[in-house]
Structures are given as C-alpha cells and as structure tokens.
C-alpha cells in the first residue's frame, strides 16, 4: 500500500500578504498550492490535508460582529466550522482540478472535524492565537477599546486580534478520516485546528477558541499512525536568528537539536514555535520525519532536496 503522509497548509497560503482575501484571490492561491499537492499524489502518496484558518476565521468574526444588528451572531466555534466548509470547498475543487489535469482520478473529500479540548486548559486565561487581518497599532488599539479584543504584535508584521488556543486532546471524527485514508481517498480534515468542543454529560459542546492547526495536525498524524508529516508555511525552511545578520537555515536536524533552539527562545510564539512543538511531539509519539517548507517546494522537499527535515534523535 502507498505511504500516507499528512500535509498541513497554513491559512496564509490562501490569503497572501497585501491581499484583501477575496474569494477569487483564495481560489487562485489554492490553485497554486493544489498543483504542488497534486505532484505528491502523482508521486504515489496517499494524502491527508489539514489547513489553517487564521485570516478567514478573523474575517468571519468581523462579519458576525458587524452584522449583529441585522442577523444572528456566531460564536467562535461556529466561525471555525464555517471556515472549514469554505476552505474545504475551495481546496477540494482546486486539488480535484489539478489531479484531473494529470490523469489522476483519486477521490477527494473534506470532513467537518471536531477536536476535543480541556475546558480547564490555562490557555483560556491567556489568549495568544492570532486571527484575522493585520492592523496598524492605532487601529488595533481602537478595536480593543471598542470591541473588547485582546491584541498582540504578530512577528513584527503588525497587530492582530488574539484568542484562546487550548491544546487538542482527541479528534472526534478520527474513524471517518481513517476510513478515507484506508480507501485511498484524499481527505481534508481538522481545518483550522478543528472545531473546539468539550465533553459535558456525554454530549459535545462547542467552546470559543481556535486550536493551533499544527498541534492538531500532529495529533491527527499520530492517531493515524503516519510516519511522515509535512508542514507548509510562508518560508522555504526553518531559520535560527531569523531576520538577523547571522540568520542560518536548518536543513537536516534532530528533534533534540530543535528542542535546544526552542529553549534558547529561537522560535516566536504564534509563528514558528507551534510548528516546531508539533514536530517534536509527532516524533516523540512514533513519527519518523517532519518536513517544513513552502508550498512551492513540497515535491522537492519530499525528495530530500529542499526545506527543513527534522528527524528523531538527540
């Protein structure tokens, strides 16, 4: 049976820097990303696709708040569900088109996915997950004062709204996702880190949060028993001393070494840190390799010619 790999796509892969994030822009960006995903399918891999939703869920929240005088509002968990549908639709159409151009008839499906979290997770008292567009400092502070937002500077690119980001505990639809993988169906799942839910009295109840998609992707890869995970992001590889004169690329590195870099404070929260943390967790729980690179170099990275490769070991 062909090897199954998980490919985690960042929400910013669909909305590029400087774009408004229109549907047409997202469709075009998805087409580019899908072409590289289709290359992996053409190489014989079974694929599990996950994706972020930071820009999209922020926009969904804005729509809900702005239209509150005329229609019902949506809590954050419902906003996550809505963006799963939106992004899943865009991605599955883009990937299907690229596959057919290559003469590949593999079916593809998007699964609306819930992820359990602990309602006592300390993250609910310390919002750090950026969502929505970037703002100048003055605009962000005005929205904080008028709308009660928590805001934070995001990787020196501007200011964004931040929301709670609890750790994922388990994936509710794991059996359905596993069946898709076993049946050689390309599956899009755990969008935006999954819809955050808590178990109460035998029922699942939504809770307002955004789960980090890289941590949920790592959990999904572990629960599926995968050996390899690919994290697609805005940079070609992982760097230490990022954007400094002594910046250096990490190409082939052990989990132990990246943990050392983590302890040195190399990777900022809300940016590269969760990707590295998810990679380390995946390798500690049975994974063999994590590749981090841009969507343009997925095939090259899988061949070992590009990106950052993190493997087990000290």
The DSSP secondary structure of 142-192, one letter per residue, reads HHHHHH--EEEE-TTS-EEEEE--PPP-EETTHHHHHHHHHTT-EEE-SGG
Which of 275, 285, 221 has the alpha carbon at shortest distance from 47? Answer: 221
Which of 161, 132, 139, 137 has the alpha carbon at shortest distance from 149? Answer: 161
**Active-site entry in 53, 129, 192, 287:** 129
State the number of CA atoms in the 13 A half-sphere of 50 facing the CB: 29
Which of 207, 203, 168 has the alpha carbon at shortest distance from 77? Answer: 207
Catalytic residue check, 105: no
Cα 105 to the center of its chain, rounded Å = 26
Catalytic residue check, 213: yes
Which of 62, 51, 59 has the alpha carbon at shortest distance from 90? Answer: 51
Residues 6+ positions from 313 with CB-CB distance below 8 Å: 254, 255, 256
β-bridge mates for residue 150, sequence order = 162
Catalytic residue check, 12: yes
- Give, rounded to a whole angstrom, the gap between the first and last alpha carbons of the chain: 31
**Active-site entry in 58, 132, 191, 275:** 275
Cα 311 to the center of its chain, rounded Å = 21
Distance, in Å, from the CA atom of 127 to the CA atom of 136, rounded to the nearest integer, reads 20
Q: How many CB atoms lie within 10 A of CB 15?
A: 20
Catalytic residue check, 2: no
**Active-site entry in 11, 58, 132, 193:** 11
Which of 141, 138, 133 has the alpha carbon at shortest distance from 157? Answer: 133
Tell me which residues are annotated as active site.
11-12, 129, 213, 275
């Amino acid at each position: 049976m062909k090897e199954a790999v998980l490919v985690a796509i960042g929400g910013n892969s669909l909305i590029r820097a400087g774009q408004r994030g229109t549907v047409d822009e997202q469709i075009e960006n998805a087409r580019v990303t899908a072409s590289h995903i289709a290359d992996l399918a053409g190489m014989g891999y079974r694929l599990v696709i996950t994706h972020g939703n930071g820009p999209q869920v922020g926009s969904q929240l804005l729509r809900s708040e702005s239209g509150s005088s005329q229609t019902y509002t949506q809590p954050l968990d419902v906003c996550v569900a809505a963006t799963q549908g939106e992004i899943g639709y865009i991605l599955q159409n883009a990937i299907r088109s690229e596959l057919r151009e290559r003469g590949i008839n593999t079916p593809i499906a998007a699964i609306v996915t819930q992820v359990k979290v602990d309602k006592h997770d300390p993250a609910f008292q310390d919002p750090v997950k950026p969502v929505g567009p970037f703002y100048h400092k003055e605009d962000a502070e005005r929205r904080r004062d008028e709308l009660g937002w928590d805001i934070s500077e995001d990787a020196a690119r501007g200011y964004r709204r931040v929301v709670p980001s609890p750790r994922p505990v388990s994936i509710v639809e794991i059996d359905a996702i596993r069946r898709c993988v076993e049946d050689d169906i390309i599956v899009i799942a755990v969008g935006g880190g999954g819809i955050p839910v808590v178990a109460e009295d035998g029922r699942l109840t939504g809770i307002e949060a955004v789960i980090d998609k890289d941590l949920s992707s790592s959990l999904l890869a572990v629960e599926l028993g995968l050996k390899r995970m690919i994290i697609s992001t805005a940079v070609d590889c992982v760097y230490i001393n990022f954007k400094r004169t002594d910046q250096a690329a990490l190409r082939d590195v052990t989990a132990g070494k990246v943990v050392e870099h983590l302890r040195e404070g190399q990777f900022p929260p809300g940016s590269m840190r969760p990707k590295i943390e998810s990679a380390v967790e995946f390798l500690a729980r049975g994974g063999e390799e994590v590749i981090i690179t841009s969507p343009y170099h997925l095939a090259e990275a899988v061949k070992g010619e590009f990106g950052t490769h993190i493997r087990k070991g000290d």
